[in-house]
Amino acid sequence: MIVAAEGIPNDLKAEELYSKSKEVIDGLKSHGVNVVSYSCDGTQVERSVQDLLVARATNWVSHVVPDPEDDHRHEIRIPMYRLSPVVMVQDSKHAAKTLRNNLFSGARVLVLGNHLAMYSYVRDMAFSALPGCPLYHRDVEKLDRQDDNAATRLFSAPALDFVINQFPDRLGLIVYLFVMGEVVDAYQSRTISHLERIKMVLRCRYFVRLWKRFLNAAGYTESRHYISREADDILNTLIDGLIGLIYVYRDHLGNLRYPLLPWLHSTEICEHVFAECRKLVKDFTHLNFLYMIPRLNILIRAASLFSKGTDPKAQAMGYSHSHLDPENARIESLAMYPTDGEIALAVDEAWNEAVTLLGLLGIQADDISSSPTTSPTDASPPPNPDEVDPVDHPNEETEAVALQHLIGVQQATGWEAVDSEIQDHMHMLTCASIALEIEERRAL
């Protein structure tokens, strides 16, 4: 439903766009329309509008997501307009294109531990004679950087499956496609639970945090070896936006429980409307647009009733619309929201998975300090792994020895804990001791 349309010049600043957006939000809210999210694409000016909408609100609601690291605080601050929260969301399909373009950029090569992720790897996939690759030649040659379908194909499960089977040593690309693809999927999937979505986005959050820390510690400049600042910012908005939406649907919609369909919190509807306009009049004027509105309403309504998206196999066709296709969504499961306890567990799982993924790439999370050691500009070259003393953790060694001693004493004396809590504690200590020993042997 088109609620506002206005002719604007090319060079409108964020400040002016902010006033227009605020007027629409306030207007809708004053008429009892419960706006819960404000989506936009990832352009700098649109992101600035969102920043202003957050900064200039008079009230905010905050939710703190537990963080696995003590020195980090993950607070999601949602602005309140007319006493109800409005979550800032980025369009997930635009984010997929941005992440694809970052991977393809000639100005940077993504360094993920001992591995790389870069354009030539994807080109090798598309031009591979081996069967099973979902990429077309046109996805990598004379490519359309705004092609939704090509981005979807790149981050799809078959593409990931293909690179895992055919190029198993290209772990950088595999992990990048997996972690970033999961963030897009957290919005686009019709079936997975909201708890799983939280885990997917948090895994990415922790992964990029540790990745940046690694680059910083190893002396790689972020401008050349990490995704762009814009892409990083878009990722943060996507992650906090999804978690924010889940909190709002869970806690701020009164007694009624509504299903959250995250793929609808996007700018796809805007692009869909503009695409319908261009089908009617290719190069339309403002007056053409005003005349088209009644017809657009019918066309969009028809598209909603038929629930049909555009051809997913299309190449270099720019926007692809799938937001009206519910596929096999189960509305009742999309109305079930995780508790804070479940979210805390998801945090731990997401952290462990991020650490494991980095481990695959040759980055040990324990080896990179949480506080930045050196700035990228004045950092020394990456250390040679052969020169690094693998066992240089005096405190851990002492703890391991002390732990082993305690367990030895318990076994020697045959002392049995009667209390189940103490038994559990002893069991955990034994596991910790084994883990430390394995880590020590691995390092040696």
Name the site residues for other proteins (rule: CB under 8 A): 1-10, 17, 20-21, 24-25, 28, 32-41, 46, 49, 86, 89, 91, 248-249, 253, 256, 258, 264-271, 273-274, 277, 283-290
* Closer Cβ to other proteins, 21 or 310, answer by number: 21
Minimum distance of other proteins from residue 261's CB (angstroms):
9
* Closer Cβ to other proteins, 126 or 277, answer by number: 277
What is d(CA 343, CA 346) in angstroms, rounded to the nearest whole number? 5
* Closer Cβ to other proteins, 147 or 276, answer by number: 276
359-363: long-range contacts (C-beta < 8 A, 24 or more apart)? 360/171, 360/175, 361/112, 361/113, 361/114, 361/115, 361/171, 361/172, 361/175, 362/113, 362/114, 362/115, 363/112, 363/113, 363/210, 363/211, 363/214
Residue 117 three-state SS: strand
Minimum distance of other proteins from residue 310's CB (angstroms):
17
Helical pair 92-104 and 171-188, crossing angle rounded to 10 deg: 170
Residue (of 322, 332, 87) closest to 191 by Cα position: 332
* Closer Cβ to other proteins, 25 or 202, answer by number: 25
Minimum distance of other proteins from residue 184's CB (angstroms):
17
What is d(CA 120, CA 103) in angstroms, rounded to the nearest whole number? 10
* Closer Cβ to other proteins, 260 or 361, answer by number: 260
Cα-Cα end-to-end distance for the chain: 64
What is d(CA 260, CA 333) in angstroms, rounded to the nearest whole number? 9
| Burial environment of residue 138 by CB neighbours within 10 A (0 to 12, 13 to 18, 19 or more) | middle
Phi and psi based region of residue 228 (left: phi greater than 0; alpha: psi -120 to 50; beta: remaining):
beta
* Closer Cβ to other proteins, 12 or 443, answer by number: 12
What is d(CA 393, CA 411) in angstroms, rounded to the nearest whole number? 27
Minimum distance of other proteins from residue 232's CB (angstroms):
22
* Closer Cβ to other proteins, 270 or 360, answer by number: 270
Minimum distance of other proteins from residue 311's CB (angstroms):
21
Minimum distance of other proteins from residue 139's CB (angstroms):
25
* Closer Cβ to other proteins, 174 or 245, answer by number: 245
Minimum distance of other proteins from residue 243's CB (angstroms):
16
